[in-house]
A = this chain, B = another copy of it.
Amino acid sequence: MIEISRRNLITGAVCATSVSALPRPLSAFAPAIGRQVPGIYRYTVGDMEVTAIADGAIKQPLPEAYVKNAGTPEINAALARLHMEQSKITAPLTAIVINTGTKLVVIDTGLGPDMFQQSKGAVGQFHANLAAAGITREAVDIVIISHMHRDHVGGLLASDNSPAFPNAEIMVPEAEWAFWSDDGNLSRMATGSIPEINFKNNRRVFAALKKNVTRYAAGRELLPGITSLAAPGHTPGHTAHILSSGQKRVLVQADLTAYSALLFVHNPAWHVFFDMDGGIAESSRRRIYDMVAVEEMLVQGYHLPFPALGHIDKTGASYSFSPAAWNSTL
């Protein structure tokens, strides 16, 4: 109250006087704002308009045996080189919305708004940030899912478990659908394991959609300018996508490097424990990264730091990620 009075006095009566001559108050006029801005970043790919939307990040202690073929000391050394906190794993999530000029398309959907409360707002922000970006869920024509892990399909539902994109066609890789629909696969999953959690989550989510999904193959143009690209290993039907318009192409890599993706860009031979087949996943990773490095193709990476757009460079048997400079205009 005192500060506001002083402010009025200054602006009203003595505006030519140096403020520094007056006694300063003990507390700031402006309280700290105390919250982050919504994570939104827009760019064009030829005639397409892409909006990258942060879902937030999962932060957790480094799990035991996080990497099948690397120990905790090696992982901590790699985290230190990347200026990331040791003995912690941070997994950022960034979904994208593509306006192709004829369709409004979402690729992957975040952990879902039900995670927002549980994580105290750290993750599950996709729907809220989508709204902040001026995009209504009802306007989305197509949702393309890269693979059926819960941090990619969770946002198919709204917080009341209704379909979050009520007017959209939902497209799922056919090999993913076959795998996660097979009760025989469920019977072989350990109780409480991550695959089992994902299996049950998929049942819940896709039942709640109350509509048939479209199953799509790899290596096909799903709609003009969006092509699927086989990238198996992380899951059996894990699929990346290529956006293409005019001379521009962008790889939407999904979990080609998974979870704390930057760690695996720099250590591509490491097999994260939830890769269903680490060897095949590594082979997909190297094949596609070698291609984008040679072609200097931009990469949009689901688990790379927001806005998760940049170039992959090959350095010996490893890779590095060079974020695209933030563009303040389109």
Q: Would B305 and A92 count as touching, CB distance under 8 A?
A: no
Q: Would B99 and A32 count as touching, CB distance under 8 A?
A: yes
Q: Which of A48-56, A62-70, A153-161, A250-258 contacts the other chain?
A: A48-56
Q: Would A326 and B42 count as touching, CB distance under 8 A?
A: no
The chain A residues found within 8 Å of chain B, CB to CB, are 7, 10-11, 15-20, 24-37, 39-42, 49, 51, 54-57, 82-84, 90, 92, 99-104, 120-123, 125, 133-136, 138-139, 141, 166-169, 210-212, 214, 262, 296, 305-307, 310-311, 322-330
Q: Return the contact of A307 from the options B100, B136, B166, B326 (Cβ within 8 A).
A: B326
A310 to chain B, nearest CB (A): 8
Sample 16 A-B pairs with CB under 8 A, ordered by A number: A11-B166, A19-B167, A24-B103, A32-B49, A32-B101, A33-B51, A33-B133, A34-B49, A36-B41, A36-B328, A90-B325, A92-B325, A123-B328, A125-B328, A262-B325, A306-B328
A308 to chain B, nearest CB (A): 9
Q: Would A92 and B328 count as touching, CB distance under 8 A?
A: yes
Q: Would B18 and A328 count as touching, CB distance under 8 A?
A: no
- How far apart sit A26 and B224, CA to CA, in the bound complex (Å)? 12
By a CB distance below 8 angstroms, the chain B residues around A329 are 35-36, 56, 120-122
Q: Would B121 and A33 count as touching, CB distance under 8 A?
A: no
By a CB distance below 8 angstroms, the chain B residues around A99 are 28, 30-33
